[in-house]
Structure 1
């Protein structure tokens, strides 16, 4: 898989930029065509109910959310040419001082984000800035695609890839003053904590709050978005510290509610950049 991935990347990188853009657009449209009508209907319904949009507006947001995957793949194929010296051509940064100050505690930092913008590039770009990133990810159902993505993740400088079930390794990484990158916008199922997200009770994985409380480290919200000229922008917010003066259940709820509200504000600004296709509100709260 490594040889195939590198071959595809080399071929892609020698193509003119106009051809690269056309390929990215074609892949995005192909992904859109492959999505089932049932999944699209669920996505449009959520967008209409949350933003009170027309069907046409919901369609535009939803389609833009999915066709972006062509550009995300194109960015992934760029990884072999990236370096600390040229990463600024692709990404600019705001708030790096927040991440630096978070690491000053010597206990690592939990970075939280959502499936917004090119989330794969978020950790990669920060790694090229010298930050010891740990990608805490979910194994893809398609194992071949999972291995394909991991080829590019592993060529990044000082990046560790861990799957969600490796909690012990995540704790060890924090002890080594590293930065696990955790997504808080996936369904937490029966083990999640219910918080309000877009005015709906939403099961949310509590891992970020649990780790911060257990390890005494800060939480740093981070987001990546893309400008009309194609350049990506990463924003890092001020560290959030878990209040251990209250009981465990309360502090985890308060922390995850706060983080979910921060994520919601970002999505409201850039709704077309969030991954609406997931059934975020699948698990219902028992009233």
Structure 2
């Protein structure tokens, strides 16, 4: 969730990054995720009494998924708070995540599509939306031995002293422990291309998160709640390297908290214009992603764009 810097925010950071972090990282992963979700539900309950942000989130859920009744909108509002806490703080869980306990929190379907592409000597681009805890699939696939690289955005711009020297510093330390290379957009693109040509796997987000400075070429597409400006980078990476572009979707599991679904590679359109081909492949992915967002808007980080009037679907500030 979008927040502003303040002494109260800094105090909360100290609580989160010291006592809470030390508790969560000592719990089994499933219990750690459950605790983070519970904190989100508690925040939602407190916020719901005051209206404000909680009420705006309920309305936003109705904008993204018209036809939801008030009870379902409230459920999705609570899910948005849960998603925020789980996504932002799941990095505390990752140190306890192993190959053996990973199935207790994350089921993976469609690994055969990933394995087949790699066995054929192709790299794989896994576009994934800002939906749920976005780094969990990266950590899990890295633990399974896949050669993972993520194009990720992490910045301390605009943070307070405590934000920079506590939250940002420690987050960098924890991200370095994820079994994957994490490279910045822009300069990291060359490394991602080399990684794909060597038969690696690149995971990158297929939509811009709230407050994220966009990078690379974007195009506008129809999407739940309005037009969405989405990056063409994942498709362009695949086209430039001959890698498979396999849609990846995170969602709730049947018997575990989360499930990652990896789909078969998208077909490359039979057109010579690579820009047009990249747009067509991006549109194909977004049509599949849109159905998931419309079904569970509370899991989508982009719900925040409908809460704050000054925000747009393609944030450039």
User: Do they fold alike, i.e. is TM over 0.5?
Assistant: yes
Query: 2:65 matched to which residue of 1?
Result: 51
What are the within-5 Å matches in structure 2 for residues 1-287 of structure 1?
11-14=23-26, 21-22=34-35, 24-26=37-39, 29-30=42-43, 43-52=57-66, 53-72=68-87, 75-141=90-156, 142=159, 143=164, 144-157=166-179, 159-165=180-186, 166-186=188-208, 191-198=217-224, 200-227=226-253, 230-243=256-269, 245-279=271-305, 282=312
In 1, Cα distance between the equivalents of 2:85 and 2:201?
Answer: 28
The secondary structure found in structure 1 opposite 2:304 is: coil
Equivalenced residue count is: 280
- Structure 1's 169 and 25: CA in aligned 2 closer, same or farther, altered over 3 A? same
The secondary structure found in structure 2 opposite 1:119 is: coil
In 1, Cα distance between the equivalents of 2:177 and 2:102?
Answer: 14
- Say whether the 8 Å CA contact 1:5–1:151 is kept in structure 2: no
In 1, Cα distance between the equivalents of 2:24 and 2:290?
Answer: 35
| CA-CA distance at 1:250 after TM superposition | 1.7
Q: Following TM superposition, where does structure 1 have runs of at least 4 consecutive aligned residues deviating by more than 6 angstroms?
A: 4-8, 16-20, 31-39
| CA-CA distance at 1:9 after TM superposition | 5.2
| CA-CA distance at 1:198 after TM superposition | 2.5
| CA-CA distance at 1:54 after TM superposition | 4.1
- Say whether the 8 Å CA contact 1:96–1:236 is kept in structure 2: yes
In 1, Cα distance between the equivalents of 2:288 and 2:202?
Answer: 19
In 2, Cα distance between the equivalents of 1:19 and 1:236?
Answer: 25
- Structure 1's 162 and 19: CA in aligned 2 closer, same or farther, altered over 3 A? closer
The secondary structure found in structure 1 opposite 2:301 is: coil
The secondary structure found in structure 2 opposite 1:148 is: helix
In 1, Cα distance between the equivalents of 2:80 and 2:240?
Answer: 35
| CA-CA distance at 1:255 after TM superposition | 1.0
| CA-CA distance at 1:107 after TM superposition | 3.6
- Say whether the 8 Å CA contact 2:268–2:277 is kept in structure 1: yes
5+ residue gaps in structure 2?
A: 1-15
- Structure 1's 10 and 94: CA in aligned 2 closer, same or farther, altered over 3 A? same
- Say whether the 8 Å CA contact 1:112–1:219 is kept in structure 2: yes
| CA-CA distance at 1:38 after TM superposition | 7.5
TM-score scaled by length of structure 2: 0.73
In 2, Cα distance between the equivalents of 1:283 and 1:74?
Answer: 24
- Say whether the 8 Å CA contact 1:189–1:283 is kept in structure 2: no
In 1, Cα distance between the equivalents of 2:170 and 2:246?
Answer: 29
The secondary structure found in structure 1 opposite 2:246 is: strand
The secondary structure found in structure 1 opposite 2:135 is: helix
| CA-CA distance at 1:101 after TM superposition | 1.2
In 2, Cα distance between the equivalents of 1:190 and 1:167?
Answer: 10
In 2, Cα distance between the equivalents of 1:111 and 1:32?
Answer: 36
In 2, Cα distance between the equivalents of 1:217 and 1:202?
Answer: 25
In 2, Cα distance between the equivalents of 1:85 and 1:198?
Answer: 38
Deviation sequence 1:12-53 (CA, Å, 0-9, x none): 354698798456523564489789988666644442233223
In 1, Cα distance between the equivalents of 2:254 and 2:269?
Answer: 40
- Structure 1's 115 and 20: CA in aligned 2 closer, same or farther, altered over 3 A? closer
